[in-house]
Structure 1
Amino acid sequence: MPAAPSTRPSRPWWRAAVALFASLAVALPLFGGTAQAAEPKDLSAGRSYTWSEAPDADRPDRGRQLTDGALGALDVTDPAWVGSTKGRTREIVVDLGGSKSITGIRAHFLQDWPSASVLVPLNVSFAVADSPRRWATVGRQATELLWGDGPARDEWFAWGVGDEGVPDRPGARAAYGRFVKISFSVHTRAAQLIDELEVTGFHGRIDGAVTPAPDRPGYLEPGRATAGIRDLALIYNGQYDNDRGNWTADELRPYLARVDRDGRPVGRLFDGVLMLGLLTPSGVDLGSGWARQPDWEWYRDKTFAPGGDLDQLDRAAGQVNAALPGPDRKTKVVLAIPNPGGTLTDFGDVDGDGITENLNADAVGREQALANQEKVVRWWTAGLIERWRAAGYEQLDLVGLYWLPEQIDVGPDGPEQARRVAEVIHDHRLTAFWIPHFLAYKAFQWQEVGLDAAAFQPNYFFEEMDPARIEDAAGIARSYGMGIEVEFDERAATDPALRERLLAYLRGGSRYGYQDAFVAYYQGVDALYRFATSTDPKTRELYDLVADFVAGKKIR
């Protein structure tokens, strides 16, 4: 029986070939009209690169060592390892020779601590660009090895399009660009050793390769995210010698108002106050994760005691309003949430069920530990707000709560713990504040976990280091979208080197642009009060310089 005639119209052979090719191109990358195998290539092999700052003289880069494909032994004396110690964040920029479809970037580091004083970086950033002036960050990775004692070990830090994608470009199969940048901060005492970097992908532009949107770095500006606070003074009211943590209205007034040498208010100063405590009578630090329920309750009761720290702040705010012309202004207040940690098995019974809260994942499992940590934070915040409302402060406005740990916990549930804390704060319609230190673990995730306002600590004041630290910290803060913390204590009045470090923060405000950003001020316990009331002109000058900085004047 003859075959039935086809009802599909015929078409030229080349159209059929084009259709076949198109179907293959869906599954295979397309390079200038040619189908290729889908196996990424090492695009950086043998390529040249530049360092933002030369490696250490005793561990130099002899030329293209990082792209020669040779890994060093787990031995710091192996010349394959290139070293960086102190100074600014290191940036290594690889020129791929032309725009490529980049699917992966990674870098290999060594750790040997404490015997060789070598640590892996805490965080490594990866960026792509068509021009070295228009970088687009595609990923950041925190160490999974973590810092710790032990034999020599190594770690790859990596970004891969399959795992992390390209920011704001869902479905992207590659990042398209010519230049790749790998960045990592360096420790003040330990070296960071790298022996290899690798960029993988395809020559040309494959289907799904996108040009990442360039970064738009910028400081956190005062506004809704900061509950309207521009300048936030840290007031420590924990347990200190000589009752220094017990505040009076007279001691607090020079923070809310700029005062003259006779102590009279002549203008406004800080528009926000963060009241926080660390040490308790038991000697346990509220930020350590080891403080138990009685320690937390002691701090809460001290803060809200009749005639106590908040009462004195309310009184000082009223005195400032009475002394200065213009409408009265409530002082914005942020209160602290201590760190529940993840170690305690007997925190205390916060819900009255007769069972102490176990916060330890090894003892009760990760999910139950997180739930118990959240329960403690909810108990604490509910108690704070209840006490605040009962106190009826007339001159104060509670606008936020501060997460006391200065980094995201290094455990596997650290980000989830921070996210739950932020959620609790938001449930009370308050702003979540945070102030991470310079080498804080996973600080770049602060917005991802739901925190609203963050100020980055340069930590320049506290130890001798490269003066470029202020500029370096400012750059990191801008890349993370944070504000900055200005740091000093009473020693600036008596130690010329520390005085200069304080001045470096103040001069950096206009030089690096953070003076108009959200700024937090660490001043030890009561340094600014001591400066304000000093009869020594040089010491009093420090108070006036800080006040000028807050007022927006350029410090020279």
Structure 2
Amino acid sequence: MKPIRRLIGLMILSLCTVFMMIFPPAKQAFSAAPVTPLTPLNQPYDVAQQATYTVSSTDKTDTFYHQIETKTYPTPPGGLMSDGPKWNGFLRQLNRTVVVNLGQPYTLTSASIDFLEETTRGILFPTHVQFLISQNGTQWFTVNDVKSNIPLYYSGTLTQTFSTPIPHITAQYVKLVFPVDVWVLAKNLQVYGSPLLTPSLAQLPIAPPKPFAPGTLSPSSKIADGISNALLVYSGANGQEGTWTPSDFDPMVAYHSGNNQISGKMFDTFLFLPYGSSLTTIYGWENYMNSLFTPNQQLDALNQTVGADESGLASIGVNEPTVNVILAIPYPNASITNFGKLWSSSSLSFSSNGQGTYVAYQNRLRAIEFYINSVLARFREAHYAHLRLVGLYWDAESVSYASPNEVNLIEQAANLTHKNKLNFFWIPTYNASGLVSGSSYGFDDIILQSNYYETPSLTPQRMVTAANEAFQLNLGLELEMGNGILTSQTARDRYYNELVAAFNSNAEGNTVHAVYAGSKLLVQAAQSTDPAVRNVYVETYDFLIGQFTNSTYING
């Protein structure tokens, strides 16, 4: 009988195989969750395995970054709860808030999540993760704010678990909030608890509100120190383009109407900064410093101009005999290997190659100390009657976490600035690395670039999004223009749309602004006999003083 039964079995198997080939099963989409070992219900187990969750950002979603995010790191099966080889990727946009709905109340004992770091690819640990819980998803209680235990500049591929105990408190919702500088990769989100555990009597603090009320950096705020509108003044190279005279500063200090009469105050602050190409040696740094103090140029030219315009401004009720000045600290790039001698018998290297990260960091810090001490001493000795030095500027547009001890270097530069009773300024690019943590590194005044004007593929929505980021983080906002404003109506219209977007975002007169105008572009617009070109100067003035009223974009 066994051979017959086996034969029948083989015949049935063959028929099934043929049937499956002719009628294949329908495909099913599913999200595989890791299998949780059986655990007694009166013991803690991972109650997040069957949970749902949402992810949001304080910032308005930027479609550009969102598309890169989803394409580069598609959500793996199981999402954030997965412990497989694939990671969930989050790109820029300030931060992420993950809200986990456990589906029912549990007595919770702990929560954790894993992160990846690989600095050479811009993948960084978050500086911290906030853990909160709630019974109803509305009122939140703070469990812990867990800081990273690993410095951001460590090389190689690293993983770190951010975890916190929860003192046996009943909740249905768990929230995790973490900053996102460039890329943050996360997985293996776990929440341990049980419905049968006895809750404790522990009480957690109610989650506090934000440390500051949302809003852009206001000229009236204490940290703004009287700054409303700052012009970026590039000097020290490029011939006449980088040499500022009293006639160049005149229309930048006082607004001149069509008949060349002073009719208002233009900029109240001037940020002096170098062209970067010549600042790779101590000689480049010293030459730039010397150019700042050249008679009848740069600082001296500005001082003369303010003095000359004082009576004209006073005649229209503007009694401001001084303007604010901010001086840039040249950036000691970690790639420089032959900076030159500085209190040593050999040329300094800022690279860690061949000398280690600590020596490289010390050399970079020594260069910064030398420059700050030297430039401040020379400014004091100059006795400019009409210039008020209010701060120093960090001349790098993002935080280079791949450079060892970069954050320490920024913090030390901030300390040196503050010891001299000055503010520390920074103008990072849109969503730059370090943006969300900038204030904790010592920056007092941060003014955000939108990079809209210089990126033709972007729409005015980028300026709106940048204004929203500035609103969320108490930042100022930069206005940007390029050489095209002198020759192209299309370029001018693009600049006007930038102003419209900022105006529609309530980032006009109540916001600290910096204006990037290349090499004297706004000066040339002010002095132009072409009404279309001069109108750039007029519209900029109206915007800076809060009289810009156009809310309609040009060409859509």
Q: Please give the TM-score of this superposition, normalised by the length of structure 2.
A: 0.72
Which residue in the other structure is 2:501 paired with? 508
Residues 1:324 and 2:313 are matched in the alignment:
yes
Q: Is 1:214 the equivalent of 2:209?
A: yes
- Which deviates more from structure 2 when the two are superposed, residues 425-434 or residues 341-350? 341-350
Whether 1:299 and 2:299 are equivalent positions in the alignment is no
1:133-212 → structure 2 map (5 Å cutoff): 159-161=162-164, 178=173, 180=175, 198=189, 200-202=191-193, 207=202, 209-212=204-207
CA pair 95-329 structure 1, distance change in 2 beyond 3 A: farther
| d(CA) in 2 for partners of 1:440, 1:529 | 29
Query: Within 1, Cα distance between the matches of 2:272 and 2:358?
Result: 31
Equivalent in 457, 482, 486 of residue 489 of structure 1: 482
Q: Aligned AA for 1:265?
A: I
Q: Given that residues 510 and 554 in structure 1 are in contact (C-alpha distance below 8 angstroms), is that contact kept between their aligned partners in structure 2? A: yes
Counterpart of 1:444 in structure 2 is 436
Matches within 5 A, 1:225-264: 225-240=223-238, 243-264=240-261
State the partner residue of 1:454. 446
Amino acid in structure 1 at the alignment position of 2:262: P
2:383 to 387, 392, 413: 392
| Alpha-carbon distance in structure 1 between the residues aligned to 2:179 and 2:499 | 26
Give 1:331 shift: 0.7
Cα deviation, 1:151-183, whole Å, max 9, x if unaligned, reads xx9987875447xxxxxxxx9999978364668
- Which amino acid is 1:489 matched to? G
Deviations 1:325-351 (A, max 9, x none): 243420110011001133434322333
CA contact (8 A) 1:134 1:214 kept: no
Structure 2 residue matching 1:408: 3-state secondary structure: coil
Shift of 1:97: 4.1
Change (3 A) 1:202 1:476: farther
Partners of 1:193 and 1:446 lie apart in 2 by: 17
Match of 2:541 in 1: 547
Question: In structure 1, the residue corresponding to 2:52 is in which secondary structure?
Answer: coil
- Answer whether contact 2:50 2:102 (CA < 8 A) is retained: no
Instruction: Tell me: CA distance 1:120–1:379, structure 2 relative to 1, closer, same or farther (3 Å).
Output: closer
1:121: Cα distance to partner? 7.9
Asked whether the 8 Å contact 1:120–1:143 carries over to 2, the reply is no
Q: What code does the residue aligned with 1:212 have? A: A
Distance 1:184 1:123 in 2: 6
Return 5+ residue gaps in structure 1 as ranges.
1-34, 74-80, 163-170
Residue 436 (structure 2) pairs with residue 473 (structure 1): no
Query: Is residue 93 of structure 2 the alignment partner of residue 69 of structure 1?
Result: no
Q: Deviations over 1:447-490 (max 9, x none)?
A: 22222111122212221225432232233333333222222223
Q: 1:230 to 1:419 in 2, by over 3 A?
A: same
State the AA in 1 paired with 2:495: L
Instruction: Tell me the alpha carbon deviations over residues 55-93 of structure 1, each in whole angstroms, 9 at most, x when there is no partner.
Output: 7597997998525636465xxxxxxx8889999988765
In the TM superposition, residue 402 of structure 1 has moved relative to its aligned partner by: 0.6
Write the letter of the residue equivalent to 1:441.
Answer: S
Q: 1:60 to 1:294 in 2, by over 3 A?
A: closer
Contact 1:350-1:356 within 8 A present in 2 as well: yes
Please say if 1:433 is aligned against 2:425. yes
Q: What amino acid is aligned across from residue 438 of structure 2 in structure 1?
A: W
For the residues of structure 2 that align with 1:441 and 1:435, how far apart are their CA atoms? 12
Please tell me whether the aligned partners of residues 326 and 392 of structure 2 are also in contact (alpha carbons under 8 angstroms): yes
Q: What SS does structure 1 have at the residue aligned with 2:345?
A: coil
| Preserved contact between residue 408 and residue 442 of structure 1 (Cα < 8 Å) | yes
Q: Describe the SS at the equivalent of 2:347.
A: coil
1:35-69 Cα deviation digits (max 9, x unpaired): 975x6735264415367869759799799852563
Matched, 1:360 2:354: no
Identity of aligned residues (%): 22
8 Å CA contact 2:254, 2:265 repeated in 1: yes
Asked if the contact 2:117/2:159 (under 8 Å) is kept, the reply is no
The code of the aligned residue for 2:537 comes to Y
Contact 1:432 1:452 in 2 (8 A): yes
Moved more, 308-317 or 89-98: 89-98
After TM superposition, the structure 1 = structure 2 runs for residues 262-411 of structure 1, keeping only pairs within 5 Å, are 262-279=259-276, 283-284=277-278, 286=279, 291-325=280-314, 326=317, 327-351=319-343, 353-410=344-401, 411=403
How far apart, in 2, do the equivalents of 1:129 and 1:492 lie?
53
Q: What TM-score results when the alignment is normalised by the length of structure 1?
A: 0.72
Larger radius of gyration: 2
1: distance between equivalents of 2:496 and 2:340? 45
After superposition, the Cα gap between the structure-2 partners of 1:45 and 1:427, relative to the gap in structure 1 and judged at 3 Å, is: same
Q: CA deviation at 1:383?
A: 1.2
Q: SS in structure 2 opposite 1:252?
A: helix
**Count of residue pairs the alignment pairs up:** 484
Give, as a single letter, the amino acid of the residue that structure 1 aligns with 2:345.
G
Equivalences for residues 60-99 of structure 1 within 5 A: 66-67=79-80, 69=82, 71=84, 94-97=100-103
Asked whether the equivalents of residues 259 and 265 of structure 1 are also in contact (C-alpha less than 8 Å), the reply is yes
Q: Would you say 1:538 and 2:532 are equivalent positions?
A: yes
Q: Closer, same or farther in 2 for the Cα pair 1:263/1:181, shift >3 Å?
A: farther
Q: Could you tell me whether the CA contact under 8 Å between 1:335 and 1:401 is conserved in 2?
A: yes
